[in-house]
Structure 1
Amino acid sequence: MNKKKSNIILNTVTALVVTVFFSCKNNFKDVQQVGVLQNEPIGVADTINLKYTDSFQLRANLLSPKMLDYSNRDFAFSEFPKGVELIIYDSDGNKSKIFADYAIVYSETDLVDLRGNVILATHKKDSLFTEQMYFDQTKEWVFTNENVRLRSEGTDINGIGFDSDRDFEEYEMLAMQGDIEVNN
């Protein structure tokens, strides 16, 4: 009888161990999300001053009163609900500024989405106004497909769409209309 009890206990323990072993799974991501709601940011920061450098040279500077960090999402991003000032430096150290009421920076694509009363002020005193603009940090390219207004010395142009290099040396606007002064 002793041997029978011993076999029953051994079989029971073996069954429990096998059950526990096969019920375990790797849920490290789930554990990381404990206490973090899916739609909530993983972090909140005030008074942001983000600097982007390349080869020891300052290339861009993003300033904002508030940042929400959503790096806990599958497609990570940072949100700037209280607006931004994006300063872009050219190779000579001249700076152009972009202001917007709201912005999102997508981590995986290095794309900055600027929205609401977007103003681009170049170091040459040119100004561009639109409701949405993108800055591709990888390609160093500024663009929009929205209505735009470009003002520079003697020029006030309305149009749709705008593409430019990061230094605003070469740009293109589609469907232009307005007063254009041409100097020969």
Structure 2
Amino acid sequence: MNIAGILSRIVILCFVPLFLSSCNGDDLKKAATISSKKLTLSKDRSLKVEIVFSDSAVVKAKGFAPILDQVNPSSGSKYQEMPKGVKITFFDPKQTVTGTITSDYAIRKETEQVTIFKKNVVVVRDDLTFNTEELTWNQQKKMYYSPKGIVTRPDGTVLNAINFTAPEDFSSVAFEQGSGETYVKGDLGQ
């Protein structure tokens, strides 16, 4: 027998018992303890929900969700989930529609006072349409945030950019690294 064969047998004889001894019953007991700690959720489902947001008896917005799940985890904060999407219509003090937000999914985190709209998010106002895949509304700051999106104006201007922010009424939009197309009226050559 050569030296390489002897060394390989010594390595196998030394490490196999060591490996097998690391697989003892204590590990299985730990795994059973961990798996017994289950997270309990209570979920209340409502169908065809309309929510009215008002301030001093003046309606500011109405929201509609085909499904609204109120989720109360056994640990952690409560949240509302709209798995089939949501449409919110905004009103001015004269109750004229000023804009809408629609998305295929939304979640409202009560403790953080944040609502996150996801999948096919579209904000429509008279002066712009904003398309994105994710839009966050921070209720405390009264601001909207989006990592990226496309703004289209009625004159045909299209703007792609990242890190969008807008106040609650979308009266202005701030962004970074914008690029797009714009149209200028008038005679440029004369």
- TM-score of the pair, normalised by structure 2: 0.69
Query: Secondary structure at the residue paired with 1:71?
Result: strand
Distance 1:110 1:116, change over 3 A: same
1:97 to 2:100 alignment: yes
Distance 1:173 1:182, change over 3 A: farther
Query: Secondary structure at the residue paired with 2:111?
Result: coil
Q: For each residue in 1:136-175, what CA deviation from the matched residue of structure 2 results, as whole angstroms up to 9, or x when unmatched?
A: 2233211111x21110122111111211112221221211
In 1, the alpha carbon distance for the partners of 2:40 and 2:101 equals 29
* 1:163 counterpart (150, 162, 165): 165
Aligned length: 146
Q: Once the 2 structures are TM-superposed, how far is the Cα of residue 125 of structure 1 from its aligned partner?
A: 4.6
Q: What is the percent sequence identity of the aligned residues?
A: 20
Aligned residue runs from structure 1 range 1-184, under 5 A: 38-73=39-74, 74-91=76-93, 93=95, 94-122=97-125, 124-145=126-147, 147-154=148-155, 155-182=157-184
User: Which consecutive segments of 4 or more residues in structure 1 shift more than 4 A?
Assistant: none
Distance 1:45 1:139, change over 3 A: same
Distance 1:183 1:166, change over 3 A: farther
Partner of residue 7, structure 2: none
Contact 1:90–1:167 (8 Å) recurs in 2: no
- TM-score of the pair, normalised by structure 1: 0.71
In 2, the alpha carbon distance for the partners of 1:57 and 1:49 equals 16
Contact 2:41–2:72 (8 Å) recurs in 1: no
In 2, the alpha carbon distance for the partners of 1:142 and 1:66 equals 23
Contact 1:41–1:68 (8 Å) recurs in 2: no
Q: CA RMSD in A?
A: 2.0
Q: Once the 2 structures are TM-superposed, how far is the Cα of residue 46 of structure 1 from its aligned partner?
A: 0.4
Partner of residue 28, structure 1: none
Q: Once the 2 structures are TM-superposed, how far is the Cα of residue 72 of structure 1 from its aligned partner?
A: 4.2
Q: Which runs of 5+ in 2 are unaligned?
A: 1-37
Contact 2:101–2:123 (8 Å) recurs in 1: yes
In 2, the alpha carbon distance for the partners of 1:171 and 1:183 equals 22
Query: Secondary structure at the residue paired with 1:117?
Result: strand
In 2, the alpha carbon distance for the partners of 1:101 and 1:130 equals 12
In 2, the alpha carbon distance for the partners of 1:109 and 1:178 equals 35
Q: For each residue in 1:79-108, what CA deviation from the matched residue of structure 2 results, as whole angstroms up to 9, or x when unmatched?
A: 000011022334454421111010001111
Q: Which runs of 5+ in 1 are unaligned?
A: 1-36
| Equivalent position amino acid for 2:57 in 1 | F
